[in-house]
Amino acid sequence: MPHHQQPQPIRSLLRIPLFRLLAINLAIGACAAALLVGGLLWLNPGHLRELIFADRSPGIALALLLASFLITFGSAAMGSAIMAQGRKEDSGKGGGHGARLAVQEVAQRTRTQ
């Protein structure tokens, strides 16, 4: 009986460019969330660290805090990556696609008259 190697699902998903983009940005958001939770525990604003560790089960509070920050920052990073997909190369004109303000149009007309 021949031995067939099953394709690994994660590896096959990472070959899709959009999924790879989302996975990378989710990892960036997760790192930001972990750093922020660590910073909050280190700085102890409003005695947050003391409140968490005074509880009978501080692991649940830490898990909820980390999960909420992970969802927030992970989705923000993924959303900004998706929204940045439609940008064109920078043409050097700046914003507004070269459109002038109405005041600039009126000033140009009065100079030419």
Rg over alpha carbons for the chain, rounded to the nearest Å, is 25
Query: CB neighbours of 20 closer than 8 A, spacing ≥ 6?
Result: 14
CA nearest to 13, candidates 23, 3, 2: 23
- Residue 51 contacts residue 99 (beta carbons within 8 Å): no
The whole-angstrom separation of Cα 40 and Cα 50 is 11
Q: What is the DSSP letter of 14?
A: T
One digit per residue, the tens of pLDDT, for the chain of length 113 reads: 556 665 577 778 778 888 999 999 999 999 999 999 999 999 999 999 999 999 999 999 999 999 999 999 999 999 999 998 876 665 555 555 555 556 666 677 777 76
Show me where the domains of the chain are located. 16-91
Q: 0.85 cut: is pTM over it?
A: no
Question: How many angstroms separate the CA atoms of 46 and 50, rounded?
Answer: 9
